[in-house]
């Protein structure tokens, strides 16, 4: 007799383990390909859903097999339409002889020795951030216990009267009374039986007394006793900070060309992806500046172009203002500044330094400054920042080509052991 089983509801992840093993085997190749993927894909692609294709090679499983080019081979083909015995046909050029190996209808033909692995967004990010983590982040997550929420957590026997839970207390009392009454009833039944059998008057009177006593006990069971009382219990549960805001500050003065913007954009993207991985909710604030600072949309931030000189300090002031007004201490604040290093005057640079040191850095998690320039000369801003950067909460780097971003990124966010 046949059994018919509907397996559709069963797990479908039977191959997951083996797939992981396979990915592990090609891990080094995937990691090598990731910088390429970042530089090729547009920023929006890499921060939204979807999948990533990674070409992989060198996974052939060797066996002993014949070299198709050698020897005397003969094969049978179907559909002869023109040949007679002894006919000679020129071999196709460059083809490896026979070709057309017999293949079962079930097996897909694989001719390339390279194929693409499709990584899910999750997997891609795992590789992407494998050995990276923001400094202080773990610390902040642990520190964030300064936010608590009171949550119901069962009942307790000891608390203030206002938290008394009447229903549960009553249940307790009911149980207690039933239990005690049961015992007394049994005792009573036993005594009454003895009483009815007793003949000796002395014994009879003691038994009657006894019965009376038990009856009284049974009728005077207290309705509530202290042990019945149950109070609602509350627990202080730390709420992890799950929101982060990222400020992107960019110089859009005339000196920033398309190339510089492009590099900056990639840098912002990397941080953004990283934050979306770490926090449930990441908000972006874009501030651009030339001589004055302005908060803009992402579109405008990257695409419109302004001209004029550069003053940096107003943008930092704007950032601080936004931070204070819109984001309370429940937000993790990150800041990314990209510039070509040009400032109007030394004084501006000094003002920036002061702003950072006194107002901004103490309030935020991390700040990164990226100087996009290929000149060996240290800019004024760089010099100013260099004095206060400690790589722990404020890092600065100089890059010029897009391919330099990845190593810089790694350097900026290298995983630190949680001390």
Cβ of residue 23: shortest distance to another protein, in angstroms? 7
**Closest approach of another protein to the CB of residue 106, in Å:** 6
Which residues, 114 to 133, sit near another protein by CB under 8 A? 115-118
Nearest to another protein of 110, 419 (CB atom)? 110
Q: Compute the distance between CA of residue 147 and CA of residue 113 in angstroms, rounded to an integer.
A: 55
Q: Does residue 210 sit in helix, strand or coil?
A: helix
Cβ atoms 47, 272 nearer than 8 A? yes
Question: Residue 21 or residue 163: which is nearer to another protein going by CB?
Answer: 21
Name the 3-class secondary structure at 293: strand
Cβ proximity to another protein: between 118 and 183 the closer is 118
- CA-based diameter of the chain, in Å? 135
Which of residues 62, 161, 201, 376 is near another protein by CB under 8 A?
62
Confirm if 332 and 140 have CB atoms less than 8 A apart.
Answer: yes
Q: From CA 42, how far away is CA 236, in angstroms rounded?
A: 44
Site string for another protein, 75-114 (x = CB under 8 A): xxxxxxx-xxxxxxxxx-----xx-xxxxxxx-xxx----
- Residue 119 burial (C-beta neighbours within 10 Å; 0-12, 13-18, 19+): buried
Separation of alpha carbons 292 and 284, rounded Å: 20
Q: How far is the CB of 41 from another protein (least distance, A)?
A: 19
Please say which residue, 1 or 419, places its beta carbon nearer to another protein: 1
- 104/201 with CB nearer another protein: 104
Residue 132 DSSP code: B
Query: Which element (helix H / strand E) includes 419?
Result: none
Q: Which residue, 20 or 303, is less far from another protein as judged by CB?
A: 20
The least CB distance from residue 104 to another protein, in Å, is: 6
Q: Which of 28, 49, 69, 376 binds another protein (CB under 8 A)?
A: 69
Helix (H) or strand (E) segment spanning residue 101:
none
Residue among 340, 325, 149 at smallest CA distance from 236 = 149
Tokens standing for residue 341: 């290093």
Q: How far is the CB of 74 from another protein (least distance, A)?
A: 5
Q: C-beta of 90: minimal distance to another protein in Å?
A: 5
- Tell whether residue 57 is a contact of another protein (CB under 8 A): no
Min dist CB 129 to another protein, Å, is: 22
Q: Which residues in 151-190 contact another protein (CB under 8 A)?
A: none
Q: How many residues bind another protein (CB under 8 A)?
A: 69
Measured from the CB atom, the residue of 66 and 377 that comes closer to another protein is 66
Q: How far is the CB of 365 from another protein (least distance, A)?
A: 38
Within 10 angstroms of residue 91's Cβ, the number of other Cβ atoms is: 10
Q: Which of 2, 28, 42, 162 binds another protein (CB under 8 A)?
A: 2
For 95, 234, 236, the CA distances from 163, given in Å and listed in that order, are 87, 10, 16
User: Is 28 among the residues that bind another protein (CB under 8 A)?
Assistant: no
In DSSP terms, 55 is beta-bridged to: 116
User: How far is 364 from 360, CA to CA, in rounded Å?
Assistant: 6
> Which H helix or E strand runs over 156?
strand 148-156
Closest contact distance (angstroms) between CB of 124 and another protein is 15
Binding another protein (rule: CB under 8 A), the pick from 40, 48, 74, 199 is 74
Would you count residue 59 as binding another protein (CB under 8 A)? Answer: yes
Q: How far is the CB of 123 from another protein (least distance, A)?
A: 12
Spatial CB neighbours of 166, under 8 Å, sequence gap ≥ 6? none
Determine phi and psi for 399, rounding to 5 degrees. Answer: -140, 165
Q: How far is CA 360 from CA 324, 353, 380, 385, 393, in A?
A: 10, 10, 20, 13, 11
Nearer to another protein, 120 or 291 (CB): 120
Residues that bind another protein (CB under 8 A): 1-8, 10, 12, 14-15, 17-25, 59-81, 83-91, 97-98, 100-106, 108-110, 115-118
């Amino acid at each position: 007799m046949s059994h018919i089983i509907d397996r559709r509801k069963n797990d479908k992840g039977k191959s997951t383990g083996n797939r992981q093993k396979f990915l592990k085997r090609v891990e080094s190749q995937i990691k090598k390909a990731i910088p390429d993927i970042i530089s090729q894909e547009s920023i929006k692609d890499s921060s939204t859903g979807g999948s990533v294709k990674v070409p992989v090679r060198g996974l052939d499983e060797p066996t002993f097999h014949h070299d198709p080019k050698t020897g005397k081979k003969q094969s049978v083909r179907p559909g002869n339409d023109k040949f007679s015995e002894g006919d000679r046909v020129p071999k196709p050029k460059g083809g490896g002889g026979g070709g057309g190996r017999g293949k079962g209808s079930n097996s897909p033909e694989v001719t390339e020795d390279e194929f693409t692995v499709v990584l899910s967004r999750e997997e891609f990010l795992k590789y992407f951030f494998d050995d990276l983590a923001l400094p202080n982040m773990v610390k902040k997550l642990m520190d964030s216990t300064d936010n608590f929420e009171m949550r119901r957590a069962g009942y307790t026997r000891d608390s203030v009267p206002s938290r008394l839970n009447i229903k549960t207390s009553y249940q307790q009392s009911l149980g207690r009374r039933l239990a005690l009454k049961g015992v007394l009833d049994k005792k009573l039944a036993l005594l009454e039986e003895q009483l009815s059998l007793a003949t000796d008057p002395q014994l009879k009177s003691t038994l009657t007394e006894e019965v009376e006593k038990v009856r009284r006990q049974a009728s005077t069971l207290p309705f509530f006793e202290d042990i019945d009382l149950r109070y609602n219990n509350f627990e202080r549960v730390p709420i992890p900070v799950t929101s982060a805001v990222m400020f992107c500050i960019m110089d859009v003065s005339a000196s920033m060309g398309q190339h510089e913007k492009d590099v900056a954009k990639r840098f912002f993207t990397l941080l953004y992806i990283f934050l979306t991985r770490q926090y449930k909710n990441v908000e972006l604030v874009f501030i651009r500046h030339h001589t004055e600072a302005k908060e803009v949309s992402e579109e405008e931030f990257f695409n419109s172009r302004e001209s004029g000189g550069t003053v940096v300090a107003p943008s930092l002031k704007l950032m601080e203002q936004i931070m204070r007004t819109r984001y309370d201490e429940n937000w993790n604040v990150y800041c990314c500044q990209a510039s070509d290093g040009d400032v109007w005057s030394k004084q501006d640079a000094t003002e920036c330094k002061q702003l950072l040191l006194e107002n901004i850095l103490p309030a935020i998690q991390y700040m990164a400054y990226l100087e996009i320039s290929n000149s060996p000369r240290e800019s004024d801003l760089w010099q100013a920042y260099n004095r206060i950067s400690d790589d722990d909460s404020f890092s600065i780097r100089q890059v010029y080509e897009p391919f330099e971003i990845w190593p810089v990124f790694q350097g900026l966010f290298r995983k630190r052991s949680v001390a």
